[in-house]
């Protein structure tokens, strides 16, 4: 048996944004916020000709919540062709070895971690994968993408559209109304929604041209297929919050951010967050944010022009409107 | 005090990582102290602080260095020589993290860092023979060439454990060494270090934030929620209610119950009026710094952070005041009433054609000697300025003066007695212009509905308990 290729642990990153690239070969799960099941996804494209072995060691540190590892291989159409799970014991190293028997072709290999249900909300959840490698008589064609991990990406949820049933939940229809009615009445040229998902809010927003960005590739695929996407001038891109400045957009006179600026999504770095927003908002532009009060502290260094708090599902929502200080209206 | 950090990052998987916001707040707490290199450090001087990093991790280069640059602090970098640019494989079960490489170290040196030695491999020193010890303790030539003196003059024991067998070698090659056990204040080869975690409180200075309230039940929820969202929380929040007759108490109690260790409520049984109420509030708090926020106003998320920074930066300043945003239905009227003076500026920064809402940015002047001399004519320190308790007590606190606002008189007396004032040039206070019946009460109403719902649920439980007793 020859060692075919070693997935360099140093190549593994948690976030696609260079700046937030995390450290190699470790999957981190952030302490889950209440009702958020923390999870992480590593993925890599591979091309194989024959059977091979996947091998790694898994560990859950002693202060971690119980977590399950889900390994899967998807073909180019996105069908899962192989899936297997491992559940290491907390505080112990578990060896994982799997023989993979596959047709020749291109596959996407992913490792997901899932905190098991019933874990206390305040428990830490993080895991570590040691030296993942593919071994076998098989050959690998083409270059191997670096393993990536998108921290707490909700991508897996977007197997179907509207994964949180917004369209069927009165509280969500109400919060959409509240958000739409708090937007200052004026003509907007360019609108950006950060965290657009599959478009629950997006197509109701004003603006001659709509731009939607979401970290989930699948969500972006869904939104592009909606019929409204053919009726409005719009564009959609997959990318993380911290990648936005590199996406080189022209500035926006309306930016909407709902349910994104939580520490478990964007980290705790207020200055970096304000820099991203500052790089996107046009002079005199409007920013509307909407978040669950207990999950974040507000951190927007702009002029708050309106705000509202209301009950949403089992939470309280904080809806806020900002503009910049530099405008001078005569 | 020698501070030791490991990893700084927006995400913090274990307690060895400190998030960027917390790191910034901890550096802020050092304002006014003297941040020095180990070469200049005197442990007996309580003003001396050394900032040091162990590893040194790439995330430090990425996230900590820009902030250190911004603050202008110098720092020490204790590197593990064998793993530059590699990862902490030896650090099980910590998540793997990459160490800075040579180029990143160079950049850190440019930013004010000095490279020091933290062994070759970070393995424990005990049980090593002389040859192995030397390999661990001494810096290889190629690194000495890259970073000549003043670099590599200090040594940090691995795992913080001082070891006698290594002591002689270290004395022969370094100016000093740091450890976390067997600490000495006299011997530079056994200087102690403080491991910094997220919870570590670096400064003893405390800030008390006071919200006096009288019948502002519709607004106070918004005021409190803006205080609870601060990037640096006050050490204590006191809400003093001057015998309100509206539903203020319901809302205040809601927050006091939810944050029992941070927020306290005091209810006056009779209305004391402004001066006595303020004096009482001060007497109920302990902070070295004090600031009042009107129950009808709001603050930006960095209000506390920026005022603390200003007062700590200038120990001779009694008071720090920021710029203001006027909002609410009477913002336009108030803005037009502000006397046009060249030192102040007022501009309209927001208008909503549908609702008629407007906001004005009101910039305050720097405290020039002319302005201070003329302070009895033109006041430039507003009531939500943060001040030192020492200065407050030194001038006799808030006093009843005919025709002079209590805060204006207080700050005037402080400046007249030789204290300085600092201007924080950011609009951190949102100053509501309203008359009660005109108020936009949405947020306040929501807060009271929420409080009432809770109260309702509590009473229902009580009733069912009583019914149970009656039924049995």
pLDDT digits (tens, 9 = 90+) for B325-361: 999 888 888 888 886 777 888 999 999 888 888 999 9
> Between residues A70 and B459, which one has the greater pLDDT?
B459
Contacts for B352 with CB less than 8 Å, ≥ 6 apart? A184, A185, A186, A305, B358
* Residue indicated by tokens 């820099």: A275
Q: Do residues A152 and A265 touch, judged by C-beta distance below 8 A?
A: yes
Q: Return all residues near A103 (Cβ < 8 A) that are at least 6 apart.
A: none
Which of B12, B87, B325 is nearest residue A24 as measured by Cβ atoms? B87
H or E stretch including B297? none
A62 touches chain B (CB under 8 A): yes
Q: Identify whether the C-beta of residue A253 lies closer than 8 Å to the C-beta of residue A286.
A: yes
Q: What is the Cα–Cα distance from A297 to B233, expressed in whole angstroms?
A: 11
| Percent above pLDDT 90 for chain B | 66
Partners of residue A19 in chain B, C-beta under 8 Å: 62
- Enter the tokens of residue A315: 């939470």
Among the listed residues B376, B378, B373, B413, the one whose alpha carbon sits nearest the alpha carbon of residue B393: B413
pLDDT at B256: 93
Token representation of residue A189: 């040229």
* Beta carbons of B64 and B53 less than 8 angstroms apart: yes
Residue B172 has a CB neighbour count (10 Å cut-off) of 9
Distance CA A62, CA B15 (A): 13
How far is it, in rounded angstroms, from Cα B290 to Cα B237? Answer: 10
In the DSSP assignment, the letter for residue B96 is P
The contacts of residue B159 (CB under 8 Å, 6+ apart) are B122, B124
SS3 state of residue B101: coil
**pLDDT value at position A298?**
67
CA distance B433 to B248: 19
Q: B245 has which bridge partners?
A: none
| 3-class state of residue B282 by DSSP | helix
> Does A43 contact B at CB distance below 8 Å?
no
In this complex, the residue of A23, A59, A309 whose CB is nearest that of residue B443 is A309
Mean of pLDDT values over A54-80: 69
Task: Give SS3 for A7.
Answer: coil
| Residues A26, A267, B160, B184, Cα dihedral to 10° | 180
Q: Which CATH number does B2-195 carry? A: 3.20.20.370
Partner residue opposite B446 with nearest CB, options A63, A151, A309: A309
pLDDT of residue A154: 55
Helical spans, DSSP H, in B16-163? 20-29, 58-59, 65-71, 102-110, 130-137, 141-146
In sequence order, the β-bridge partners of residue B247 are: none
| B426-455 residue pLDDT tens | 999 999 998 754 444 555 566 667 777 778
Backbone angles phi, psi at B269, to 5 degrees: -80, -30
The closest alpha carbon to B322, from B374, B355, B365, belongs to: B365
CA dist., res. B162 & res. B182, Å (int): 7
Chain B interface includes A313 (CB < 8 A): no
Model confidence over A240-292: pLDDT tens digits? 888 898 888 999 999 999 999 987 778 888 999 999 999 999 999 999 999 98
- Across A134-143, A213-222, B211-220, the highest mean pLDDT is recorded for B211-220
SS3 A132: strand
- CA-closest candidate to residue B8, choices B56, B49, B76: B56
Q: How far is B336 from chain A (nearest CA, A)?
A: 13
Pick from A62, A128, A270: CB nearest B21: A270
Cα(A158)–Cα(B332) distance, integer angstroms: 48
Query: A146 falls in which pLDDT band (50, 70, 90)?
Result: very low
Alpha helix locations (H) across A51-136?
none
Residues in chain A with CB shorter than 8 Å from the CB of B353 are 185-186
Task: Using alpha carbons, select from B223, B225, B231, B227 the residue that is nearest to residue B208.
Answer: B227
Q: Return the residue of B nearest to A124 by Cα.
A: B13
Q: Matching CATH topology for B2-195 and B207-435? A: no
- For range A92-113, the mean pLDDT: 68
**Average pLDDT in the A109-132 region?**
60
- Report yes or no: A161 and A221 within 8 Å, Cβ to Cβ: no
Average pLDDT over residues B60-89: 92
Beta-ladder partners of A172: none
Mean per-residue pLDDT over chain B, rounded? 90
B272-287: average pLDDT: 95
Q: Break chain B into its structural domains and give their ranges.
A: 2-195, 207-435, 443-472
pLDDT digits (tens, 9 = 90+) for B250-269: 999 999 998 999 999 999 99
Q: Residue A217 and residue A240: Cα distance in Å, rounded? A: 10
Interface with chain B: mutation pick from A304, A310, A318, A321, highest number of B CBs within 10 Å: A304
- SS3 for B364? coil
- At residue B6, the pLDDT reads 95
Q: What is the DSSP string of A270-284?
A: HHHHHHHHHHHEEEE
**Sign of the torsion formed by the C-alpha atoms of B455, B461, B467 and B470:** negative
3-state helix, strand, coil in chain A (%, to 5): 20, 40, 40
Integer Cα distance of B402 and B166 in angstroms: 73
Residue A143: band (very low, low, confident or very high) from pLDDT cuts 50, 70, 90: very low
Report the residue of chain A nearest B443, measured CA to CA. A308
More confident: A69 or B152: B152
Q: Quick one: which of A75, A32, A108 has its CA closest to A265?
A: A32
What is the pLDDT, as a whole number, of residue A138?
A: 39
Q: List B86's β-bridge partners, or say none.
A: none
For chain A, what percent of residues have pLDDT higher than 90? 32
Q: Rg (Cα) of chain A, in Å, rounded?
A: 22
Say whether A297 and B301 touch across the interface (CB within 8 A): yes
A75: pLDDT strictly greater than 80: no
Mean pLDDT of the residues in chain A = 73
Chain B partners of A266 at a C-beta cutoff of 8 Å?
10
Q: What is the DSSP letter of A31?
A: P
Cβ within 8 Å, pair A266-B225:
no
Displacement of CA B193 from its chain's centroid (Å): 22
From the CA of B329, how many Å to the nearest CA of chain A?
12
Residue A128: predicted pLDDT: 60
User: How many CB atoms within 10 Å of residue A121?
Assistant: 12
pTM for the full model? 0.76
pLDDT tens for each residue of B100-130: 999 999 999 999 999 999 999 998 898 888 8
- Quick one: pLDDT band at residue B87, thresholds 50, 70, 90? confident
- Per-residue pLDDT band for A108 (boundaries 50, 70, 90) equals low
> pLDDT at position A33, please?
32
The answer to whether residues A130 and B91 touch, using CB atoms and an 8 Å cutoff, is: no
In sign, the C-alpha dihedral spanning B249, B295, A301, B424 is: negative
**Is there a contact between A219 and A200 (Cβ–Cβ < 8 Å)?**
no
What is the predicted pLDDT for the residue at B147? 97
End-to-end CA gap in chain A: 77
Q: Are strands B34-35 and B263-267 parallel, antiparallel or unpaired?
A: unpaired
Say how far apart CA B199 and CA B191 lie, in whole Å: 23
Residue whose C-alpha is closest to residue B30's, from B75, B77, B79, B78: B75
Contacts of A25 in chain B (CB under 8 A): 87, 96
CA atoms of B187 and B178, how far apart (whole Å): 10
Does the beta carbon of A22 lie under 8 angstroms from any beta carbon of chain B? yes
Burial class, B175, CB count within 10 angstroms (exposed 0-12 / middle 13-18 / buried 19+): middle
Question: What average pLDDT does the segment B200-216 reach?
Answer: 92
Residue A31 confidence class, pLDDT cut points 50, 70, 90: very low
Instruction: Tell me: pLDDT of B46 over 50.
Output: yes
* Residue A149 structure tokens: 């991990």
- Closest by Cα among A28, A30, A21, A327 to B59: A21
| Architecture, CATH, for domain B207-435 | Alpha-Beta Complex (3.90)
pLDDT for residue A151 is more than 90: no
Give CA angle at B48 (B42, B51), nearest 5°. Answer: 105
Under DSSP, the state recorded for A19 is: G
A185 touches chain B (CB under 8 A): yes
Which residue bears the tokens 């990318």? A239
Identify the bridge partners of residue B427 per DSSP, sorted by sequence position.
Answer: B323
Residue A267 is predicted with a pLDDT of 81
pLDDT above 70 covers a percentage of chain A that reads 60
Q: Where are the beta strands (DSSP E) in B226-335?
A: 236-241, 263-267, 289-292, 298-299, 317-327
Q: Report pLDDT digits (tens) over B295-316.
A: 999 999 999 999 999 999 899 9
Q: How confident is the model at residue A141 (pLDDT cuts 50, 70, 90)?
A: very low
Contact B354 A30 (CB under 8 A): no
């Amino acid at each position: 048996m020859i060692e075919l290729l070693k997935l360099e642990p140093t190549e593994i990153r948690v976030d696609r944004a260079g700046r937030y690239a995390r450290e190699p070969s470790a999957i981190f799960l952030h302490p889950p916020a209440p009702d958020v099941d923390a999870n992480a996804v590593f993925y890599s494209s591979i091309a194989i000709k024959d059977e091979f072995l996947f091998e790694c060691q898994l560990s859950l540190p002693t202060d971690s919540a119980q977590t399950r590892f889900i390994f899967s291989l998807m073909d180019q159409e996105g069908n899962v062709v192989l899936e297997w799970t491992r559940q290491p014991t907390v505080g112990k190293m578990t060896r994982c070895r799997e023989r993979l028997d596959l047709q020749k072709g291109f596959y996407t290999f992913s490792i997901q971690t899932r905190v098991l249900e019933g874990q206390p909300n305040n428990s830490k959840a993080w895991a570590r994968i040691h030296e993942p490698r593919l071994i076998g008589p098989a050959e690998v064609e083409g270059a191997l993408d670096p393993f990536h991990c998108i921290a707490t990406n909700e991508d897996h949820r977007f197997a179907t559209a509207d994964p949180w049933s917004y369209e069927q939940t009165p509280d969500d229809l109400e919060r959409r109304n509240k958000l739409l009615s708090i937007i200052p009445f004026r003509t907007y040229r360019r609108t950006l929604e950060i965290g657009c998902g599959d478009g629950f809010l997006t197509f109701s927003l004003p603006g001659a041209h709509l731009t939607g960005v979401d970290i989930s590739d699948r969500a972006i695929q869904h939104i592009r297929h909606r019929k409204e996407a053919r009726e409005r001038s719009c564009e959609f891109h997959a990318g993380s919050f911290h990648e936005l400045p590199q996406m080189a957009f022209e500035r926006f006179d309306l930016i909407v951010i709902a349910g994104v600026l939580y520490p478990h999504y964007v980290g705790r770095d207020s200055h970096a967050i304000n820099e991203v927003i500052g790089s996107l908002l046009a002079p005199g532009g409007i920013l509307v944010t909407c978040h669950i009060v207990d999950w974040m502290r507000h951190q927007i260094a702009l002029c708050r022009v309106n705000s509202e708090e209301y009950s949403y599902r089992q939470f309280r929502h904080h809806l806020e409107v900002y503009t910049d200080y530099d405008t001078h209206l005569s | 005090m020698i501070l030791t950090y490991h990893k700084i990052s927006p995400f913090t998987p274990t307690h060895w990582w400190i998030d960027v916001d917390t790191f910034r707040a901890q550096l802020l707490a050092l304002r006014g102290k003297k941040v020095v290199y180990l070469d200049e450090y005197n442990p007996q001087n309580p003003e001396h602080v050394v900032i040091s990093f162990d590893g040194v991790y790439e995330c430090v280069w990425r996230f900590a260095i820009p902030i250190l640059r911004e603050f202008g602090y110098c720092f020490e970098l204790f590197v593990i020589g064998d793993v530059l640019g590699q990862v902490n494989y030896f650090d099980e079960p910590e998540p793997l993290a990459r160490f800075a490489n040579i180029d990143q170290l160079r950049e850190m040196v440019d930013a004010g860092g000095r490279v020091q030695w933290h062994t070759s491999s970070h393995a424990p020193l005990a049980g090593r023979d002389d040859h192995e010890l030397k390999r661990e303790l001494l810096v290889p030539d190629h690194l000495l060439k890259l970073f000549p003196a003043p670099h590599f003059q200090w040594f940090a024991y691995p795992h913080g454990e001082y070891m006698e067998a290594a002591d002689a070698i270290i004395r022969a090659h370094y100016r000093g060494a740091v450890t976390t056990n067997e600490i000495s204040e006299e011997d530079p080869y056994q200087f102690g270090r403080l491991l910094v975690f997220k919870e570590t409180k670096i400064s003893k200075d405390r800030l008390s934030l006071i919200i006096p309230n009288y019948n502002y039940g519709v607004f106070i929820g918004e005021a409190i929620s803006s205080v609870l969202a601060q990037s640096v929380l006050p050490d204590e929040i006191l809400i003093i209610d001057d015998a309100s007759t509206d539903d203020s108490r319901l809302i205040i109690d809601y927050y006091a119950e939810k944050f029992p260790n941070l927020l306290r409520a005091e209810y006056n049984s009779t209305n004391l009026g402004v001066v006595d109420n303020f004096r009482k509030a001060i007497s109920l708090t302990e902070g070295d710094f004090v600031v009042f926020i009107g129950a009808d106003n709001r603050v930006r998320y960095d209000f506390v952070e920026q005022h603390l920074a200003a007062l700590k930066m200038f120990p001779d300043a009694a008071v720090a005041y920021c710029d203001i945003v006027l909002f609410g239905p009477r913002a336009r009227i108030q803005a037009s009433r502000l006397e046009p003076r060249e030192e102040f500026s007022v501009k309209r920064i927001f208008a909503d054609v549908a609702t008629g809402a407007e906001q004005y940015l009101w910039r305050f002047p720097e405290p020039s000697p002319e302005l201070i001399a003329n302070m009895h004519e033109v006041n430039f320190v507003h009531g939500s300025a943060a001040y030192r308790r020492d200065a407050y007590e030194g001038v006799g606190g808030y006093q009843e003066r005919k025709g002079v606002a209590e805060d204006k008189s207080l700050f005037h007396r402080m400046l007249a007695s030789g204290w300085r004032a600092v201007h924080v040039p950011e609009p951190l206070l949102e100053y509501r212009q309203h008359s009660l019946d005109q108020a936009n009460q949405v947020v306040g109403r929501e807060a009271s509905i929420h409080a009432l719902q809770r109260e309702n649920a509590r009473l229902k439980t009580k009733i069912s308990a009583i019914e149970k007793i009656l039924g049995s």
